């Protein structure tokens, strides 16, 4: 962390990237870090770039910058395990690259890396960074809202494994900055009629295997219910907590691939995700299929993971 702080002090232009299809933690880490830097060093130029997220756009607006901004710039990538998932390919155009992430290390990109998998969210890492150097750094209410949003969303509102006393201590610190819990909950809990209808579809059309429950979200379904890809991906945890199915997944069809959001409340699944071009945490990971013909193989592999887990239990 000290090396990261030194680099932030060294550079006058800092550009913060996240991952493709950003979630609340990605946005929270990006905009929280931007706020810390701008609040602490007002003279610096700090930008957040990459794809947008309508779900958590209340925490900040992505910047549009030209290529020349990368000349002699410090680039920081947050919440992104592999280089191919970084949103905006210009991340390697800067002078120096830092990776800050809480996922299991798969791709050691960057000149300097801070990867710590015992943090349940990248936003918590950024909050901890601020907390460690709060005698030198500043954080505004807006930055605290971003970081709190990131922590809340990636911990399932403090329900997932990895949440610790430090998580709650840092959340309390952010509350002391003026975070309104009711405001954030209202933002994260809002829904549209289209999303309500889509949730009904999920509960009516899921499929099951041995210990594995899943839903195929094809393009025609996304278009039928008039939702964004981001909204479609958000329904994965509707399949959680169903007795007899410790692993669940959402298969989402994109134009060139099928993305898998894979979750577990028992078996370790990140190694399975690695086999299918992905990665992530032990109980929350992502990967992909090239086409639907691979689905049966994935189901069999997932069943084997569940079987091995049951035999060891």
Tens digits of pLDDT across the chain (313 residues): 999 999 999 999 999 999 998 999 999 999 999 999 999 999 999 999 999 998 899 999 999 999 999 999 999 999 998 999 999 999 999 999 999 999 888 789 999 999 999 999 999 999 999 999 999 999 999 999 999 999 999 888 887 778 899 999 999 999 999 999 999 999 988 888 999 999 999 999 999 999 999 999 999 999 999 998 888 988 998 999 899 999 999 999 998 899 999 999 999 998 999 999 888 888 888 999 999 999 999 999 999 999 999 988 7
Owner of token pair 């006393």: 165
| Cα–Cα distance for residue pair 295/298, rounded to 1 Å | 5
Q: What angle do CA 299, 270, 98 make, to 5 degrees?
A: 140
Share of the chain residues as helix, strand and coil, in percent rounded to the nearest 5: 45, 20, 35
- Quick check: helix, strand or coil at residue 250? strand
Question: Smallest Cα–Cα separation from 73: which of 1, 8, 138?
Answer: 8
Q: Which CATH number fits domain 2-188: 3.40.640.10, 3.90.1640.10, 3.40.50.720, 3.90.1300.10?
A: 3.90.1640.10
* Residue pointed to by tokens 């990131």: 150
Give the pLDDT confidence score for residue 279 in this predicted structure.
82
pLDDT the model gives residue 310 = 92
Check: CB of residue 306 under 8 Å from CB of residue 213: no
Helix axes 141-154, 165-175, angle to 10 degrees: 150
What are the start-end ranges of the H helices in 176-291?
Answer: 181-189, 193-205, 219-224, 229-233, 270-275
CATH 3.10.310.30 domain range(s) in the chain: 193-312
- Could you tell me if 227 and 196 are in contact, meaning their C-beta atoms sit under 8 angstroms apart? no
Q: Which helix (H) or strand (E) holds 248?
A: strand 247-253
Distance CA 302, CA 300 (A): 5
What is the distance between the alpha carbons of residues 270 and 286, in angstroms, rounded to a whole number? 8
Contact 132, 36 (CB under 8 A): no
Question: CB-based contacts of 33: which residues, under 8 Å, 6+ apart?
Answer: 16, 76, 78, 100, 126, 129
Distance (Å, whole) CA 122 – CA 105: 13
Closest to 280 in 3D by CA, of 145, 140, 144, 154: 154
d(CA 43, CA 37): 10
Instruction: Assess contact for 16 and 49: CB atoms under 8 A.
Output: yes
> What number of other Cβ atoms are within 10 A of residue 90's Cβ?
18
Structure tokens at 283: 């109980």
DSSP string covering 20-31: SS--HHHHHHHH
Tell me where in the chain the CATH 3.90.1640.10 domain(s) lie.
2-188
Q: What Rg, from alpha-carbon coordinates, does the chain have? A: 20
5 three-state secondary structure: helix
Answer CATH for 193-312 from 3.50.50.60, 3.40.50.720, 3.10.310.30, 3.30.2000.20: 3.10.310.30
Which has the closest alpha carbon to 75: 48, 43, 101, 53? 48
CB 201 within 8 A of CB 221: yes
Q: Give the containing element (helix H, strand E) for 262.
A: strand 258-264
């Amino acid at each position: 962390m000290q090396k990261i702080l030194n680099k932030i002090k060294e550079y006058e232009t800092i550009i913060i990237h996240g991952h493709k299809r950003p979630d609340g933690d990605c946005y929270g880490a990006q905009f929280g870090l931007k706020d810390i830097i701008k609040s602490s060093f007002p003279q610096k130029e700090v930008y957040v770039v990459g794809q947008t997220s309508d779900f958590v756009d209340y925490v900040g607006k992505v910047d549009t910058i030209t290529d020349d901004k990368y000349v002699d710039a410090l680039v920081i990538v947050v919440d992104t395990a592999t280089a191919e998932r970084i949103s905006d390919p210009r991340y390697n155009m800067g002078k120096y690259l830092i990776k800050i992430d809480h996922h299991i290390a798969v791709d050691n990109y960057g000149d300097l890396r801070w990867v710590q998998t015992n943090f349940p969210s990248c936003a918590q890492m950024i909050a901890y960074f601020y907390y460690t150097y709060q005698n030198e750094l500043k954080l505004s209410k807006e930055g605290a809202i971003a970081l709190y949003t990131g922590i809340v969303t990636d911990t399932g509102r403090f329900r997932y494994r990895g949440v610790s006393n430090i998580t709650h201590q840092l959340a309390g610190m952010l509350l002391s900055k003026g975070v309104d819990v009711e405001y954030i909950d209202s933002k994260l809990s809002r829904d549209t009629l289209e999303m309500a209808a889509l949730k009904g579809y999920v509960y009516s059309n899921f499929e099951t295997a041995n210990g594995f429950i899943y839903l195929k979200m094809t393009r025609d379904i996304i278009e039928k219910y008039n939702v964004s890809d981001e909204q479609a991906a958000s329904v994965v945890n509707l399949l959680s907590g169903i007795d007899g199915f410790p692993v669940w997944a959402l298969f989402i069809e994109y134009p060139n691939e099928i993305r898998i959001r894979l979750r577990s409340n028992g078996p370790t699944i990140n190694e399975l995700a690695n086999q299918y071009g992905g990665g992530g945490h032990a109980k929350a990971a992502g990967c992909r299929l090239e086409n639907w013909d691979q689905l049966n193989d994935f189901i069999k592999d997932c069943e084997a993971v569940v079987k091995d887990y049951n035999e060891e239990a």
